[in-house]
Amino acid sequence: MKIHERGLEVETGVTLATWLVDGGLGTLPPPFLLVHGLASNSRLWDMMALDLARAGHVVGAVDLRGHGRSDKPDHGYDMSTLVSDLLAVINGLGLKSPILVGQSFGANLVLETAWRSPQVAGGIVCVDGGTIELSHTFPDWQDAAKALAPPRLAGTPYDEMRRMLLGLHPTWPATAVEATMANFDLDADGRIAPRLSREHHMEILHSLWEHRPSSRFAELTVPTLLVFAGLGGPPSKRWAARSAEQAIPDVRVEWFESAGHDLHAECPDELAQLLLRRVAEGFFTGSSAPGETVVAPDALGTGPDG
């Protein structure tokens, strides 16, 4: 298994941390590019990426600007710039017609990328996102900002933060907990600070509040797989899923009923196998037979608290 890490300059003075992995079994089409959510990092995809790579696919991932090990400039936290970053990463990694896989905010981002530049993507996978329209719940930005601002975690002892995560996500594999801890820097006193600053977090959140993915659905021209978590989220999630299914021309919708929002961290093997099945069936090449919504079986047996 070869893992290649490199920094890619996406604009003058701004470099994003990326990695690329393949299983050494030759390169099967299509490649994948994995895009994390708000205040997350690319390591949350580690286990899923290994499954895809073992099946013979090239898999890339990126820390978005301001996140993880990427640069943290004082500008560029809007949807248009982040789409441009993603296009630069696709080109820089040499990915030909990759399937863009995004989670939460990252799902909205890959959907927007495919709508703006459909020629670069072989398809998109939106993991518990892609249909997020915060303005439906919060018509006023100030209300959204107040309700959705991140908790003030700076200064929390590392061990305490880790215990909090274990308590919140008891069913997560240990690798997912450690990957989540990579959202933070650690100071000499053993205390954490979020790698994404609060200011930049709020700028991205505002961009997400402004985003109207439903206005893109009917114009999407790439195969679109929407994968939703059954636990947690607003009641409007299922309504949004039905609306997307009715509007997007080439779409499949699947549910992991016993998984929470970070289902890519919680059940990476099951999610990877779902993607591999859809590739094998020809969904992303347009050769599969159309079908109704598929409800994924309870992959875990018991659900987490989400």
User: In the CATH hierarchy, which fold is given to the domain comprising 2-296?
Assistant: Rossmann fold (3.40.50)
Three-point CA angle 233, 236, 242, nearest 5°: 115
| Three-class secondary structure of residue 220 per DSSP | coil
User: How far apart (Å, rounded) are the C-alpha atoms in residues 93 and 83?
Assistant: 15
Task: Give the DSSP H or E segment for 10.
Answer: strand 2-11
Rounded to whole angstroms, the Cα distance separating 92 from 6 reads: 10
The pTM (predicted TM-score) of the whole model is 0.92
pLDDT per residue as tens digits for the range 198-212: 999 999 999 999 999
Sole residue written with tokens 């200011």: 199
Residue type for 124, please?
I
pLDDT tens per residue, range 250-294: 999 999 999 999 999 999 999 999 999 999 999 998 765 544 344
pLDDT band at 304 (very low <50, low <70, confident <90, very high): very low
Q: How far apart are CA 255 and CA 281, in angstroms?
A: 18
Sheet containing strand 14-22, strands side by side:
2-11, 14-22, 57-62, 28-35, 99-103, 123-127, 224-229, 251-256, 294-296
**What are 10-52's pLDDT values in tens digits?**
999 999 999 999 877 667 889 999 999 999 999 999 999 999 9
The span from the CA of 90 to the CA of 61, in Å, is 10
